[in-house]
């Protein structure tokens, strides 16, 4: 499902580039990248003076889970503890959940700087508790409904509409954790390998729109050398750890060195959680090519077969 022919990927990348150029600004030429051979590093910049994230594929695969696992009470493990955790986790994955996939990202075999959770606030590495109303709604959703009547009863990823490592915010999965940036004067485009989405972020100060979107309505700005993306107006059909259409995400991208991009996001939804929470992960520069992710909206053959199975199961 993941890798088809390279020409399809090239066509996709070219199409995105042309699309951004048509927005009226033209794609900036890539700034010169310093060699990583011990020479002092200089922040690469666009002609406008903003940091340049282009010219690379950024990979954000990691074994570090979003939430700190039970039994671990510190944010960073020792080298020995991290090695044991990685070994045990890999053994469980191989034994129970590989599902035949053989293209897992290498970063998914290791913790991000030995960290035990991506969540850095709250300090316990947990998603904050639900509000009373959100607990009530969650309990109602857990009641059996027998929902296999049509395509919309299946999850968004099953229908090839959205995966979290191609959504807002970015969260890693075992594979396809690749991201590329296209920057112009007035726009930044985040192009993800998984589900082949391109999120176009206006940078010209325009106000948010009012139409709900799968990935929300994003507006960007630079705070010195940090790219800040503010996103609201999510579709009621998308959800992050139980969030609803009132979800508000603020993302921050910052170059640490020539090969490292730090990514943080803060999630706020006062109708779901008692307080906001923040996660952080590292994106590493690679020379990998981003391939087409051939999972097309609707995923009709899989959905058709699953519905056929459901109808067969209902027969006496």
pLDDT, residue 9, reads 40
Q: Is the pLDDT of residue 26 over 90?
A: no
pLDDT in tens, 211-228: 999 999 999 999 999 999
Q: Give the C-alpha distances (Å, rounded to integers) separating 315 from 150, 246, 310, 311, 312.
A: 17, 41, 9, 7, 5
Strand partners, 264: 252, 280
- pTM reported for the whole predicted model: 0.84
pLDDT in tens, 295-314: 888 888 888 888 888 888 88
Helix (H) or strand (E) holding 249: strand 248-257
pLDDT, residue 37, reads 53
**202-218 b/e (C-beta count within 10 Å ≥ 16 → b):** bbeeeeeeeeebbbbbb
CA distance 174 to 154: 21
pLDDT, residue 64, reads 96
pLDDT, residue 132, reads 95
Q: Is the pLDDT of residue 13 over 50?
A: no
Any idea where the domains of the chain sit in the sequence?
Answer: 6-26+46-56+128-170+178-314
Q: Is the pLDDT of residue 191 over 50?
A: yes
Backbone torsion region of residue 189, taken as left when φ is above 0, otherwise alpha when ψ lies between -120 and 50, otherwise beta: beta
pLDDT, residue 96, reads 62
Q: What is the DSSP letter of 161?
A: S
Exposed / middle / buried, residue 79 (Cβ in 10 Å: 0-12, 13-18, 19+): exposed
197 or 13, which is more confident: 197
pLDDT tier, 49 (very low <50, low <70, confident <90, very high otherwise): very high
Mean pLDDT over 272-278 rounds to 98
Least confident of 93-97, 123-127, 182-186, 285-289: 93-97
pLDDT, residue 28, reads 43
- Is-contact 233 247, C-beta < 8 A? no
pLDDT, residue 25, reads 43
pLDDT, residue 129, reads 96
pLDDT in tens, 120-160: 999 999 999 999 999 998 888 776 655 688 888 888 888 88
pLDDT, residue 74, reads 96
pLDDT tier, 2 (very low <50, low <70, confident <90, very high otherwise): very low
Average pLDDT over all residues of the chain: 85
pLDDT in tens, 51-61: 999 999 999 99
pLDDT, residue 197, reads 84
pLDDT, residue 57, reads 95
Q: What is the DSSP letter of 106?
A: G
């Amino acid at each position: 499902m993941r890798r088809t022919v390279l020409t399809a990927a090239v066509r996709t990348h070219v199409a995105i580039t042309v699309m951004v150029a048509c927005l009226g600004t033209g794609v900036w030429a890539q700034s010169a990248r310093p060699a990583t051979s011990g020479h002092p590093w200089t922040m690469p910049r666009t002609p406008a003076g903003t940091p340049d994230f282009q010219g690379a594929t950024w990979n954000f695969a990691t074994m570090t889970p979003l939430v700190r696992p039970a039994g671990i009470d510190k944010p960073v493990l020792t080298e020995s503890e991290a090695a044991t955790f990685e070994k045990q986790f890999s053994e469980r994955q191989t034994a129970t959940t590989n599902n035949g996939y053989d293209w897992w990202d290498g970063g998914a075999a290791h913790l991000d700087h030995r960290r035990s959770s991506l969540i850095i606030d709250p300090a316990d590495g947990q998603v904050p508790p639900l509000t009373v109303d959100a607990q009530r709604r969650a309990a109602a959703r857990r009641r059996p409904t027998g929902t296999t009547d049509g395509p919309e009863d299946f999850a968004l990823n099953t229908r090839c509409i959205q995966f979290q490592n191609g959504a807002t915010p970015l969260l890693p999965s075992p594979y396809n954790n690749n991201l590329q940036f296209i920057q112009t004067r007035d726009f930044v485009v985040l192009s993800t390998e998984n589900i082949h989405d391109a999120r176009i972020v206006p940078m010209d100060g325009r106000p948010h729109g009012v139409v709900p979107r799968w990935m929300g309505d994003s507006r960007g700005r630079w705070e010195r050398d940090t790219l800040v993306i503010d996103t609201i107006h999510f579709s009621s059909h998308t959800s992050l750890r139980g969030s609803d259409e009132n979800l508000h995400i603020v993302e921050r991208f910052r170059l640490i060195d020539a090969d490292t991009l730090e990514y943080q996001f803060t999630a706020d939804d006062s109708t779901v959680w008692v307080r906001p929470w923040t996660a952080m992960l590292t994106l590493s520069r690679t020379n990998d090519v981003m391939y087409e992710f051939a999972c097309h909206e609707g995923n009709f053959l899989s959905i058709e077969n699953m519905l056929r199975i459901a109808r067969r199961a209902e027969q006496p």
